[in-house]
Chain A
Amino acid sequence: MIEAYLIHILILICIYIVLAVSLDLAVGFTGMLNMGHVAFFGIGAYTSALLVLAGVPFWIGLIAGAILAGIAGFILALPTSKLRGDYLALATLGFAFIIESFMKNWVSVTRGPLGLPGIPRPSFFGFTISSQLGYLIFAFIVMLICVLLIVKIEKSPFGRMLEAVRDDDVAAKTLGKNVRMTRSLGLIVSAFFAGIAGCLYAHYISFIDPTTFSLLEVILLFSIIIVGGLGSSKGAIVGTIILLILPEPLRFLGFPSSIVGPARQMLYALILLLIIYFKPKGLFGRVQLGET
């Protein structure tokens, strides 16, 4: 029993690590306050779920989910590349709400609030990952690949350019960098990986509905990367582990389950507020939130 619970948490940690590291690529490295990341997560999840439920092989579902999420990133990047600061935050938040609205109302495709049940576990070469432990290994491998790829990007000259655009986009322009395109690419790549996380999530939990991809998730994701520290993949990983484990004791304190849920959210909100106030650079952050 306790083993199943631990494995469950570990799987979620793997999924959220991909989400956090990809979000940090956009926020910490490129300096874009993207509060709509959860939309990419959802698009990846729904796309993959719908395709696989329709009989498409898992790998295609995964790639399609990631690509569609990347396209959503492109769609978001185009109009928002001129916005900064709180206006960008608001616009990206609005984008997330629009996507959530489609999830809720495009009933013919998404089944609306009823959600998509029965999403199958991944299967390839005739082999299905049906066990919890098997999925943990799978999620871990996918997470590892994603994180390594993202870190490689961050350390590359392209990553350097992302950081330049974050630190001073005017200077970057005068050095010949196409800032608009750079920002867009940063967002697209970030979205792509969030889509992969979405697919991982959908095929694990086996049921998704619009409420999974809401404002609450946005707060959680931002708490993770701010606690971990912006501009640091290591921070995003540590932040994920801390924030996913921290509220778990609430389960065991004997509160009724109707309290545990909201208590968890209150905890995340408080952590975010406290970190912003006391340690805005977070644990391993190289950049402070206000500087992006």
Chain B
Amino acid sequence: MSIIVQLLINGIMAGSIYALIASGFSLIYSVAKFMHFAHGSVVTVSAFFLFLLVGILKFPFALGAILTVVFGALLGLLINLVCYKPLRNRKATNAVLLIASLALFIFFQSLMIALFGADIKTIRRGAISTGINIFGGIITELQIIIVIVSVVLLVLLWLFMKKTKIGKAMRAVADNKEVAQTVGINPEKIYNITFIVGSAIAGIAAVLIALEQNIEPNMGFSLIIKGFTGSIIGGISSVPGAVLGSYLLGLVENLGIWYLPSGYKDAIAFFLLFIFLLIRPQGILGLKKGVGAK
């Protein structure tokens, strides 16, 4: 019994992290209409930035965290301006943008290895907590904070999209770019804002992951795959869908390794990704907008 509770807790924890990643990724996809694989790099580089500030330069943590989030937002914006925008101007298809994004991902991953080395870094925050016992499962205070922060952030994002003027403009561009232009919305400006918001969330995710787990150059890969998969499962052009899909993925993954060797954890995500792309590419909540058709 307590094993199940522990797996559920682990699943919710994982789901929270994936949801943060997936929400930013899905936000960018729904507005800019392509798969920003390099979103994973934004997380990785931000985490290393945090490590640089807090671990090496010994900044106070709170300051380091805030700077990291800002850094993440700016990095995402920079990627959009330097890499994607010029390609968009050349009418690149979203497949081309995906490939460019993959190249960027590799670039940043290798850059981190070159600058920081391939070994694992950690940011120690006090003694290792023993955690609280809930129905037989253990959860640490930090993990509870992470889940709460994730949920709060996702609610804020939802409110932002629904209630604010900018959020509505973003949804307009996501729905129909040409029509949005006719009412005076500047798509490029909206893309920039979308990247800033999505990447800021990635920055927050980086901070939380750096605290709870480790920092290493490869971390972005696993995260973006999970983010992807969560988005696809829930519905890639729907941010709530991406969140739903992420929690589902977190749960399935953790309950899944009850049966399978734990090394197959990532494979579960790949497998679900593959299956959903084949059978229900629009995801659980998504609309079938000529999926994959060009």
Q: What residues of chain A have their CB less than 8 Å away from a CB belonging to chain B?
A: 33, 35, 79-80, 82-91, 94-95, 97-98, 101-102, 104-105, 112, 215-216, 218-219, 222-223, 258-259, 261-263, 265-266, 268-270, 272-273, 276-277, 280, 289-290, 292
Q: Which A residues touch B125, using CB under 8 A?
A: none
> Is residue B153 contacting chain A, with contact meaning CB distance below 8 A?
no
What's the least CB distance linking B47 to chain A, in Å?
Answer: 17
Are A261 and B113 interface neighbours, CB within 8 A?
A: yes
Does A276 contact B96, Cβ atoms closer than 8 Å?
A: yes
Q: How far is the CB of B276 from chain A (nearest CB, A)?
A: 9
Q: A109 to chain B: closest CB distance in Å? A: 13
- A90-B277, A290-B95 known; A273 and B100 CB under 8 Å? yes
**B102–A33 touching, CB < 8 Å:** no
Decide: A262 and B113 in contact? CB cutoff 8 A. Answer: yes
A100 to B176, CA, bound (A): 39
A98 contacts B270, C-beta separation under 8 Å: yes
Choice from B99, B277, B292 contacting A94 with Cβ under 8 Å: B277
> Which chain B residues in 97-111 approach chain A with CB under 8 Å?
97-100, 102-104, 106-107, 109-111
The CA-CA distance from A105 to B91 in the complex, in Å, is 42
B261 interface contact, C-beta 8 A: yes
Taking the closest CB of chain A, its distance from the CB of B293, in whole angstroms, is 6
- The binding surface of chain B is classed by DSSP as helix
Residues 254-294 (chain B) with a chain A CB within 8 angstroms: 261, 263-264, 266-267, 270-271, 273-274, 277-278, 281, 291-294
Segment of B3-11, B82-90, B138-146, B166-174 in the binding face: B82-90
On whether the beta carbons of B292 and A276 are closer than 8 Å, the reply is: no
What residues on A are CB-neighbors of B204 within 8 Å? none
Q: How far is the CA of A67 from the CA of B246 in the complex (A)?
A: 37
Partner of B110, one of A112, A265, A272: A265
> Which chain B residues (72-96) contact chain A, with CB distance < 8 Å?
83, 86-87, 90-96
Residues of B within 8 A of A33 (CB): 95
Minimum C-beta distance from A214 to chain B (A): 9
User: When chains A and B are docked, how far (Å) is the Cα of A261 from the Cα of B109?
Assistant: 12
> Do A97 and B266 have beta carbons less than 8 Å apart?
yes
CA distance A91 to B274 in the complex (A): 5
